[in-house]
């Protein structure tokens, strides 16, 4: 298992960006993604729930050019076929998507596998079955996933203590509440609206990167 755990450096999890095109302004989607990378994003997850396969793969390949250029990890949300077709570094799956063991067998041992977890039991099992990192939340209420189950800070802390792989907190995290996560043991934060809903993405990314550094003890 050690070789799998080494695929994701904890430092690369500091500011984990999940894309969302619903707030697209004047700039193109790809320009927005590059702006986040240039200003502090350390990991990119491409999330497209409504896009067809061919269009998804095309966009994913464009994002991969950027992540390769800046040498940061890049995973696809939920869609293993797209992840393999575009050559992404890996895939992130939820609890209801597919068994972690099955995902690992499909993507192979060299790809990054991220798994969502809401409980200590889910977290331990995900690591045992081949997860390289965990996304834990929602730690705050979120408009992106209004039906997401809440995860208490105590549970988040216990999860971090129970696994040896990096843990990223997700769900409603903003510059106003991020410092509340200090001391939980997380390796980073995953954000969506904290970046993409802002009129100035550059400024928002820089601010969240700064605050992430104060929240996470590397």
Active site amino acids: 47, 116, 145
- Cα–Cα distance measured from residue 114 to residue 29, given in angstroms and rounded to the nearest whole number: 23
**Cα(86)–Cα(61) distance, rounded to whole angstroms?**
5
- Label residue 19 left, alpha or beta by phi (over 0 means left) and psi (-120 to 50 means alpha): beta
- Residue whose C-alpha is closest to residue 126's, from 145, 98, 149: 98
Q: Which residues of 116-149 are buried (b: 16+ CB within 10 A; e: fewer)?
A: bbbebebbebbbeebbbbbbbbbbbebebeeebe
**181: helix, coil or strand?**
helix
Strand-pair partners of 77: 92
Rama region for 24: left / alpha / beta (φ>0; ψ in -120 to 50; rest)? beta
Taking alpha carbons only, the member of 160, 185, 188, 191 closest to residue 173 is 191
Q: What is d(CA 39, CA 64) in angstroms, rounded to the nearest whole number?
A: 17
């Amino acid at each position: 298992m050690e070789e799998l755990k080494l695929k994701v450096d904890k430092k690369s999890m500091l500011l984990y960006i999940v894309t969302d095109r619903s707030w697209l302004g004047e700039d193109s989607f790809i320009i927005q993604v590059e702006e986040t990378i240039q200003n502090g994003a350390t990991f990119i997850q491409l999330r497209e729930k409504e896009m067809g396969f061919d269009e998804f793969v095309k966009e994913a390949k464009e994002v991969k050019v950027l992540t390769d250029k800046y040498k940061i990890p890049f995973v696809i949300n939920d869609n293993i076929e797209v992840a393999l077709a575009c050559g992404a570094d890996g895939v992130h799956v939820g609890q209801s998507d597919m068994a972690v063991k099955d995902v690992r067998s499909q993507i192979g041992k060299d790809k990054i596998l991220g798994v969502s977890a809401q409980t200590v039991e889910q977290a331990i099992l995900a690591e045992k079955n081949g997860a390289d990192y965990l996304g834990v939340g929602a730690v705050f209420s979120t408009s992106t996933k209004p039906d997401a189950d809440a995860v208490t800070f105590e549970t988040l802390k216990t999860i971090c203590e129970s696994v040896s792989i990096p843990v990223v907190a997700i769900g409603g995290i903003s510059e106003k509440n991020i410092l509340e996560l200090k001391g939980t043991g997380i390796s980073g934060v995953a954000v969506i609206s904290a970046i993409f809903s802002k009129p100035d993405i550059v400024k928002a990314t820089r601010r969240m990167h700064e605050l992430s550094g104060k929240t996470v003890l590397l």
